Amino acid sequence: MKKKPLVCMLLIAFVLTFLLPVQAMAATQNFPDIKGHWAENYISQLAASAYVKGYLDGKFKPDNNMSKAEFITVLIASMGTSATDKTTNNYSDTSKHWAKAQINEAVKLGILVPSEDSSGFGPDEAIKRSQAAAFLVRALGKSPDSNPVSFADKATIEKSMYKEFIKTASDLGLISGFPDGNFDPFASMTRAQVCTVIVKFINNLNGTSGSLPAPNTTSTGGNINTITIGAQSYPINSTPIYFSIDFHDIRASSINAGSTSFSLNGLHTINLNSESNNPDIIVNNNRYGVKNYMISGNKMLVTASCRKFNKINSGTYTFGSDFVKLYINSANSEHYLSDMEISDEYNVKIAGKTYKLNQDKITVELNQDFYDIKKITLGDNDTIAQLSKTDPVIFNGMSMSDIMAIFTGTTTLNTAQISTIDFILGGKRYKMSQVIMDAKGNFTANSTNYSPVDVIMIIDGTQYKINNVAVTNSKFIFYCGEGSTHEWVVINDEYYDFDDVRILWSSSLYDLNEVMVVGRNLLRIKGKQYDLDSSFKVRFGNKVYDIERIEYNSSLGVTEIRTGSLSSSNLANQPAKYVFYRNTSIYQEGTNNATLYVNGSWIDFDEILIIDPSHMSYKNTNYDLIGTRIKISKIEFKIVDTSWHGLTQVLDLYMEET
């Protein structure tokens, strides 16, 4: 089960703050750094209700900022809502984020509106006060208010898309202004401030005021008083039993069973007899994956599918398994310790594959140190890992000191003379300090893993294709091809091959080497200079877009283009693929070794624009497709018919040999 991306420093910060589900850091913990703090009462209330926890050093650090993902997670939890949708991709930057399910639930509830963030949600950005106001108001089902606000910084508030939610949030008493009379809509919120607004939100949601109830009591309310797992039975009133829900371990104080579901503590509804999405159950310190929950009289019968780690210890520190990264045979993965199913003391299963601890290298990262799991002790009250400290498996924020050697062809580069190293991964350019590498030489950036052969290394402006990476004594050796000055163009902050991008102007296509970018939005074509206007388009990825900005970045040595929307012209959608038919059978898919005879010359397919299934444009002149001569690997044909599959962007060309 994949839950969270590899953004290690952020993950560690989050783990150690809000959602570390470990009894060793109990909700009754007293934080020494909140004594006398203006938000002490609010922090204590949320801590007592198990919604927030402290750092491993025992502090709360109330003045640290909170991210948008963390805010949404705490907000969803405070509503008593379970987040289960881990498949929908509502935002481009949350597909592998640890809070994907919570973000999806917030979208489902109307708290988040994806159209407001077309470039991505920015889950790891600090939550802004205006954003929090909107999310809280929507969570309460309240409407925005267009009446004027009473804050001194009205002009600044007017610039926020959430200005009308700020008015409602203020009127509801959720977020107040500062002593200077300002609201500061674009200011980041601290952990203390978030605790304040969440307590006010919960009271508003429940129509109450004062302290919040602590869910981790030993009440025996409810019609279920015993939980049975296998042959063992556990009374709820005398056994610490927890359900793992949305990264929280919820202590069972009351369970009321219905015909199809049961209610946990009156806050969470869980399905009975379900074969999926069952929360894990924790008894003492043994955690079990659950195949299904069933009811028999006043007993709950739990069919366990596997045993797991609930927590793991390193020295004086205790870590929740949901937040401990798991590495398999020194390679990075999207797995966590809670994803590992335990068969016996030496055999485990991860993502359906079995590994042997005495043969495979299964590594965890604890407090920035790395340990191999050598053996597992399965006790009645605990699941204990036998750990052996090992070399680092993940290297965050590389520097030149992490590189032993760089081989380029038959040459060895002098690393002492290198000034800068950048990498291009998945169309993005990253500084060396921004990438993460594992002990297998794989790269990770923006929560995506890349093989070395898929990465371009840029050393002081010269580009190298990486063939292989070796790791020796925790240092990297890069084996690269010969250096090149291959050209790129950056479109919307992503790198594209220079040869795959065309400028469209006056119904003609131009290679970028035919277009000189003289200055920002100033171009020269065929010796004449033009200001950028709506007549200029850019074609890449088989689509045509309007151009908002074009300029040459001399420091990077690339042309940069910022596009607008998809062009509304009839040339906007171009074929993603051509399929050539001879008679009624497919002769070839794709334009490899294929040319057209147009205006007295044989030209490549990427030099034409498809106007409609029967017509094409070449150098500002339209031509019929039907009747055009085609040459494929020296065999000449004539197009006799065409067919366009608009939904799949496939153009079928039916040919007969000439």
Supply the DSSP string of 38-77, one letter for each residue. TTHHHHHHHHHTTS----TTS---TTSB-BHHHHHHHHHH
Judge contact between 48 and 214, C-beta under 8 A: yes
What is the domain extent for residue 342?
310-390
> Do residues 405 and 283 both lie within one domain?
no
Q: Within 13 Å of residue 556, how many CA atoms lie on the same side as its CB?
A: 20
In a domain, 140, yes or no: no
What percent of the chain lies above the pLDDT cut of 70? 91
- The C-alpha atoms of residue 469 and residue 444 are separated, in whole angstroms, by 14
Determine the Cα–Cα distance for residues 34 and 71; give it in Å rounded to an integer.
Answer: 20
Average pLDDT rounded to a whole number, residues 602-627:
87
Answer yes or no: are the C-beta atoms of 639 and 631 closer than 8 Å. Answer: no
Residue 391: phi and psi, rounded to 5, are -65, 155
> pLDDT grade, residue 3 (50/70/90)?
very low
Domain count, the chain: 6
Percent of the chain as helix, strand, coil, to the nearest 5: 15, 40, 40
Q: Compare 67 and 219 and report the one with higher pLDDT.
A: 67
Same domain as 314, residue 303? no
517 and 641 assigned to the same domain: no
Residue 26, pLDDT > 60, answer no
What pLDDT, on the 0 to 100 scale, is given for residue 320? Answer: 83
Residue 573 binned pLDDT confidence (cut-offs 50, 70, 90):
low
17 and 89 fall within a common domain: yes
Residue 122 lies in a domain: yes
Q: Sort 242 into a burial class: Cβ within 10 Å, 0-12 / 13-18 / 19+.
A: buried
pLDDT at 212 over 60: no
Residue 174 has pLDDT above 70, yes or no: yes
Angle 447-19-134 from CA coordinates, rounded to 5°: 80
- pLDDT for residue 205: 83
626: Cβ contacts below 8 Å, ≥ 6 apart:
614, 639, 640, 641, 642
Residue 110 pLDDT class (50, 70, 90 cuts): very high
pLDDT for 35 equals 87
d(CA 270, CA 264): 8
Final residue in a domain of this structure, among 272, 290, 307 = 307
3-state SS assignment for residue 37: coil
Q: Is the pLDDT of residue 307 over 60?
A: yes
359 belongs to a structural domain = yes
Query: In this structure, what token pair is assigned to residue 100?
Result: 């994907």
Q: Is the pLDDT of residue 30 over 80?
A: no
Q: Is there a single domain that holds both residue 409 and residue 438? A: yes
Confidence label for 646 from pLDDT (cuts 50, 70 and 90): low
Same domain, 527 and 599: no
Give the pair of three-digit tokens for residue 292. 């299904």
**Which pLDDT tens digit goes with each residue over 115-126?**
888 778 999 899
Residue 202 and residue 118 share a domain: yes
Q: Which of 356, 390, 424 is the last residue of a domain?
A: 390
Domain presence at residue 148: no
Q: What is the pLDDT of residue 20?
A: 37
Give the pLDDT score at 56.
Answer: 66
Out of 155, 171, 206, a domain closes at 206
Q: What is the mean pLDDT of the chain?
A: 86
State pLDDT tens for residues 392-435: 999 988 899 999 999 998 899 999 999 999 999 988 899 999 89
The mean per-residue pLDDT over the stretch 147-155 comes to: 88
- Residue 3 in any domain: the answer is no
Residue 176 lies in a domain: no
**Is residue 535 one of the residues assigned to a domain?**
yes
Query: For residue 71, what are the CA distances in angstroms to 90, 102, 131, 356?
Result: 17, 10, 10, 39
Tell me the pLDDT band of 208, cut-offs 50, 70 and 90: low
pLDDT at 17 over 60: no
Residues 195 and 82 in one domain: yes
Give me the residue label for tokens 């970018």.
Answer: 517
Closest C-alpha among 374, 365, 376 to residue 333: 365
**pLDDT value for 499:** 83
pLDDT average, residue stretch 347-354: 94
pLDDT tier at 23, thresholds 50, 70, 90? very low
Q: In this structure, are 89 and 236 located in the same domain?
A: no
Asked if residue 6 has pLDDT above 50, the reply is no
On the question of pLDDT at 25 being above 60, the answer is no
pLDDT recorded at residue 570: 59
pLDDT band (50, 70, 90) for residue 187: very high
Residue 33 placed within a domain: yes
Same domain, 53 and 117: yes
pLDDT, position 564: 84
Distance CA 15, CA 12 (A): 5
Distances (CA, A) of 26 to 216, 282, 594: 10, 15, 69
Supply the pLDDT for residue 1: 39
Q: Is the pLDDT of residue 467 over 50?
A: yes
Rounded (5°) CA angle 181-61-174: 40
- Cα–Cα distance for residue pair 324/564, rounded to 1 Å: 42
Tokens of 229: 């797992």
Indicate if 446 and 560 belong to the same structural domain.
no
- Looking at per-residue confidence, does 569 or 197 come out higher? 197
pLDDT tens digit sequence for 505-545: 876 778 888 899 999 999 999 889 999 998 899 988 778 88
Residue 188: what pLDDT?
93
Residue 292 has pLDDT above 90, yes or no: yes
Residue 639: which pLDDT band, with cuts at 50, 70 and 90?
very high
For residues 15 and 102, membership in a common domain is answered with yes
- Work out the pLDDT band at 19, boundaries 50, 70, 90: very low
